Amino acid sequence: MRKETLDFFSELMRFPSTPGNEQQAMEWLARRLRPLCDEVALVPFPEAFAEDPEFSDPIPGMRYEGRANLRAVLGGAGPAEGAPAAGDRAPGPRSLVINAHVDVVPPSEGQVAAFEPAVRDGALHGRGACDDKGQIAALYEALLTLREDGIRPAGRLVLHLVAEEENGGNGTLALVREAQRSGERAEGVLVMEPTGLAVATASRSSVWFRVRTRGQSGHVGSSAQRRSALAGAVAAMRAIERRHAALRDRSRGVAPFEGMENHLPLTFGVLHAGTWPASVPAEAVLEGVFAFLPNTDRGQVMAAIRECLAAEEDLVDAEVSFPFRHECHVTPPDAMIVQEALRAAEAAGIAPRLSVFPASNDAWLYATLLGIPVILFGAGRLEDAHASGERIALAEVDRASRMLRALIAAFCGVVRP
């Protein structure tokens, strides 16, 4: 990796851009991208954004005043140099959106100096290295290379660098709503996530649930006459586990997720209850993640959770909400963006291969709300994301940047000023 890109990557890593704290990093990125793009704008979140029906709220109390996403544009001058004729792939130029997220999850327990990047054994270590700042570094390197080669996209290259991917995709949602308002369209979208340099054409998805149970507080000596909210939360866990097991059994072999290890996980991540060991708790809050595949949808999953809780005799005053509700996304392998991405990978010296992405991400917002074919691609391994030893190989970031450069040129076409 060249020094200029490594310096960019390292400086970006130093911003502790957890959800809600991305603004300084956004402003810095805007300054760094202006010399490389035709338009760079910080796009504020719309007023009353939390009223959007797709708004995610896993972190209560998030505020949006004074915060923005970053949108940048390069090219769009056409006609393309050597543009393909009708019947040969597709007539160009074409517009491409590339999305990457600026927010990162908080440091892991025991993670020391999480926001001070360190290069060891050819990899950069630190929070966000893999998810997702290494992807932004690859994009930056691709833009540098285009400028050095004297190439501009004939079609429009639109960059969406967004906030709040980690807590539901609110940043991408805001820019998608802006695209709907302005009528902006594109022929393809690439969402940058750590896919190990594979072209991912589909994403597993999930809903996050929050179950609040209520009981009657009291002394341990009178507990026989009391109802424990904590016992209710445990009953809720068992009910959700039974409903999940039934869906998991029906979801084996669902295309294109055949053969995926742990194809339908269920996680109980948070349980808050009680104030004293010798007191029956009056309230408990259980939170978790219920994954699903394209053989169902979020509406069916949420209905199933509501039904199984309503049928549980030990749950009298349970309330359930869903602060994070994604859909799956599937792009056919013969779609133009998929085939161009495979060719670009091969041109960059990467063995072209298709995969699926085993986690929620922002691709579904483009596919569902804008109807645009979407792929995922990026350097690094998903198992390194969110880990205490988060890292990304610098050589892999370089290879990703070469693929991006090839895809931009092929998909959008090129002009030489």
Coil/strand/helix, residue 119: strand
| pLDDT-based confidence at residue 58 (cuts at 50, 70, 90) | confident
Residues 6+ apart with CB under 8 A from 85: 91
Indicate whether 115 pLDDT > 60.
Answer: yes
Q: Do 43 and 54 fall within a single domain?
A: yes
Could you give the C-alpha distances from 294 to 195, 242, 252, in angstroms and in order?
A: 20, 20, 11
Average pLDDT, stretch 304-322? 90
Query: Domain range spanning residue 313?
Result: 206-325
DSSP string, 286-319: EEEEEEE-TTS-HHHHHHHHHHHHHT-TT-SS-E
pLDDT tens digits, one per residue of 320-333 = 999 999 999 999 99
Indicate whether 13 pLDDT > 50.
Answer: yes
Q: Do 16 and 110 fall within a single domain?
A: yes
pLDDT tens digits, one per residue of 330-339 = 999 999 999 9
Indicate whether 228 pLDDT > 50.
Answer: yes
Q: Do 22 and 41 fall within a single domain?
A: yes
Q: Do 195 and 113 fall within a single domain?
A: yes
Q: Do 197 and 220 fall within a single domain?
A: no
Indicate whether 90 pLDDT > 50.
Answer: no
Cβ–Cβ < 8 Å for 37, 53: no
Question: Chain-wide mean pLDDT for the chain?
Answer: 93
Cβ–Cβ < 8 Å for 166, 105: yes
pLDDT score of 60:
84
**Among 205, 294, 289, 290, residue whose Cα is nearest residue 253:** 294
pLDDT score of 85:
41
| CATH, residue 29 | 3.40.630.10
Q: Do 135 and 18 fall within a single domain?
A: yes
**Among 98, 104, 35, residue whose Cα is nearest residue 71:** 98
pLDDT tens digits, one per residue of 364-378 = 999 999 999 999 999
